[in-house]
Amino acid sequence: MTKTSIGILTALFAPAVLAQAAPELKQATLAGVDKRAKLVQEMVDSIYSFAEPGFQEFRTSEYITGILEKNGFTIERGAAGIPTAWTAKWGKSGPLIALGSDIDALLGLSQVPGSATITPQLAGAPGHGEGHNSGMPAVVAAALAVKEVMEKNKIEGRLMIWPGVAEELLGTKAFYVRSGMFKDVDASIFTHVSKDLSTSWGPAGNNGMVSVEYQFVGKTAHSAGSPWSGRSALDGVELMNIAWNMRREHLPLTQRSHYVITNGGGQPNVVPGVGTVWYYFRDQTFAAIRDLYEIGNTISEAAAQATGTKVSRRLLGYAAPNFGNKPIAEAAYENMKAIGMPQWSEADQTFAKSVQEANGFKVEKLATEVAPLQTPESKENAMRGGSDDIGDIMWTVPTITIRFPSNIPNTIGHNVTAAMAMATPIAHKGAVTGAKAVALTVMDMMTTPTLLASAKDYFNNEQLKDMKYDPVLAPADQPAIHLNKELMERIRPQMTKYYYNPKKYSSYLEQLGIAYPGTPATEMPSGAAP
């Protein structure tokens, strides 16, 4: 590298708050990510094609751990008693930095990528309508680039990669923490797909949550012949829901709660003997979440007494409120400004516009500028409502989330429209950019002890000053690994024919026979099944 290029890079990465890694190390790290752009594309497309929902991410986990194992990481499978969970570790001594991202798909959101209209690949199958297929590729590329530079320059440090299993169910990260997965970790970076390149510190404005299923048990009887002989479990379910909806009027404005009846009985002429209802209780503090949970429990017991039934409950998931670490977020933001946004092509902008127009969304170009650093002041009065169980990690070790631009503005979350771009060049370029932001921030932490020290000081003396980690998990609560099992046993054989074959095709769009940006598809392309 010439003195001139080092000087330019030094100016680009001039530290605003804390010391950063040397410019030549950062340049080598960026080059390491760039040379893995093809790997990112293959991973994004492959995981998209696997489309496995929570607790059933077997093919996805096998694929990712296979790549990491070939690159010198030691894999420990079955983390926290969860079959699809794992850790991948590298390094013998020095700071331990954890890198994670979610890997699960959503039920019923199968979608042909590169199509601007709603076009299922396989009706009823899961799909990546949250974009979770892009985060782990960014993490893996970042980790491999950092590892390579650390080995070459004899930099001491350790990496641990872990997957967000069943995030859509808020199903695992609290159990990860309880199992001690993060007990030796110094700091953590999480990634998540977005329409922009951004990060934040302080309270995130979203909610913590508890997921719980209530099961009512009554007594069957002939609904017409002798209804007095029965005790309807469905009555218990419905009475609980009625009572909760009446109580909702008198709950804090910050709460959000919703439910689905997962078992309402078999057929009308049999009094239901078993009925179940699944609730999400959300709020912004640990105490408020616990209050909602206890109110729900009390109402369920009252409904059982009123209907002559019995009720039990099973906790299915938990998420702590999110809280980002200030020093790490500030360091990451400096890196983001230096990296900048992807170079979107005319085809990328054309496809984004076609998705927006075809689905009635506001037309907005793909972002070309890094989003401002989000602070408590800029997020004041913001309430996003949703939840992410990365919060449990955030209350365990200093953590931030890096959001990267792999999706289209104004699409609907948890919807097929959010899947349309997720195996296109938009997703590929955004994930590479996210990988760069992660890699440079990890290199900062590995080489500047003051950054880690400041992160830990903020975590211990600011974040934990007024609120401590207090999940509602009881010792008997276990991960709900049974969820989605029956569905995938039934539908997986049909899904396998849509798996991406990177040895044969340069991209998933090529395998599917889709011209990008192309004309919006109206039916499954003839080349969809490899």
Lowest mean pLDDT among 123-137, 277-291, 513-527: 513-527
- Examine residue 164 and state whether it is found in any structural domain, yes or no: yes
Task: Enumerate the β-bridge partners of residue 403.
Answer: 192, 198
- Examine residue 509 and state whether it is found in any structural domain, yes or no: no
Q: Which of 318, 337, 371 is the last residue of a domain?
A: 318
Dump pLDDT digits (tens) for 243-267: 999 999 999 999 999 999 999 999 9
Dump pLDDT digits (tens) for 493-511: 999 999 999 999 999 999 9
pLDDT of 3 above 80:
no
Dump pLDDT digits (tens) for 416-463: 999 999 999 999 999 999 999 999 999 999 999 999 999 999 999 999
**Mean pLDDT of the residues in the chain:** 93
> Are 51 and 125 within 8 A, CB to CB?
yes
Report the number of distinct structural domains present in the chain. Answer: 2
Predicted local distance difference test score (pLDDT) of residue 518: 76
411 shares its domain with 431? yes
- State the first-to-last Cα distance of the chain, in angstroms, to the nearest integer: 45
Predicted local distance difference test score (pLDDT) of residue 383: 63
47 shares its domain with 166? yes
- Examine residue 521 and state whether it is found in any structural domain, yes or no: no
Lowest mean pLDDT among 37-46, 214-223, 408-417, 511-520: 511-520
- Examine residue 502 and state whether it is found in any structural domain, yes or no: no
pLDDT of 11 above 70:
no
Distances (CA, A) of 39 to 4, 44, 161, 421, 429: 31, 9, 17, 18, 12
- pLDDT interval class at 522 (50, 70, 90): very low
> Are 109 and 129 within 8 A, CB to CB?
yes
pLDDT of 161 above 70:
yes
Q: How far apart are CA 41 and CA 38, in angstroms?
A: 5
Query: What CATH number corresponds to the domain at position 41?
Result: 3.40.630.10
Distances (CA, A) of 456 to 48, 148, 187, 441: 36, 26, 8, 15
189 shares its domain with 236? no
Assigned token pair, 293: 């949970």
Predicted local distance difference test score (pLDDT) of residue 206: 82
> Are 44 and 422 within 8 A, CB to CB?
yes
Query: What CATH number corresponds to the domain at position 255?
Result: 3.30.70.360
Assigned token pair, 244: 């909760």
Tell me the mean pLDDT in the region 23-33. 97
> What DSSP element (H or E) covers 96?
strand 96-102
pLDDT of 77 above 80:
yes
> Are 511 and 530 within 8 A, CB to CB?
yes
pLDDT of 181 above 60:
yes
Distances (CA, A) of 146 to 90, 99, 142, 154: 11, 12, 6, 12
Predicted local distance difference test score (pLDDT) of residue 294: 98
Distances (CA, A) of 40 to 44, 236, 262, 435: 6, 50, 38, 9
Q: How far apart are CA 499 and CA 122, in angstroms?
A: 12
Q: Which of 289, 318, 347 is the last residue of a domain?
A: 318
328 phi-psi bin (left φ>0, alpha ψ -120 to 50, beta other): alpha
Backbone dihedral angles phi then psi of residue 119, each to the nearest 5 degrees: -140, 95
138 shares its domain with 243? no
Tell me the mean pLDDT in the region 15-34. 84
- Examine residue 529 and state whether it is found in any structural domain, yes or no: no
Q: Which of 318, 346, 363 is the last residue of a domain?
A: 318
State which residues form the domain around 221. Answer: 208-318
Assigned token pair, 301: 């017991």
Assigned token pair, 471: 């999940």
Task: Enumerate the β-bridge partners of residue 81.
Answer: none
83 shares its domain with 164? yes
411 shares its domain with 458? yes
- Examine residue 528 and state whether it is found in any structural domain, yes or no: no
Q: How far apart are CA 383 and CA 371, in angstroms?
A: 19
430 shares its domain with 345? yes
Lowest mean pLDDT among 56-60, 112-116, 306-310, 516-520: 516-520
Closest CA relative to residue 27, chosen from 43, 5, 44: 5
Q: How far apart are CA 37 and CA 39, in angstroms?
A: 5
Q: How far apart are CA 74 and CA 91, in angstroms?
A: 9
What is residue 421's three-state secondary structure?
coil
Dump pLDDT digits (tens) for 360-389: 999 999 999 999 999 988 876 566 678 889
Assigned token pair, 427: 């997703």
In this structure, which amino acid lies at residue 448? Answer: T
- Examine residue 527 and state whether it is found in any structural domain, yes or no: no
148 shares its domain with 235? no
Assigned token pair, 13: 């990465």
Q: How far apart are CA 394 and CA 251, in angstroms?
A: 27
Looking up tokens 């392309």, which residue turns up?
Answer: 525
350 shares its domain with 437? yes
- Examine residue 496 and state whether it is found in any structural domain, yes or no: no
Q: pTM for the whole thing?
A: 0.93
313 shares its domain with 424? no
Predicted local distance difference test score (pLDDT) of residue 380: 62
368 shares its domain with 473? yes
155 shares its domain with 267? no
Q: How far apart are CA 164 and CA 172, in angstroms?
A: 7
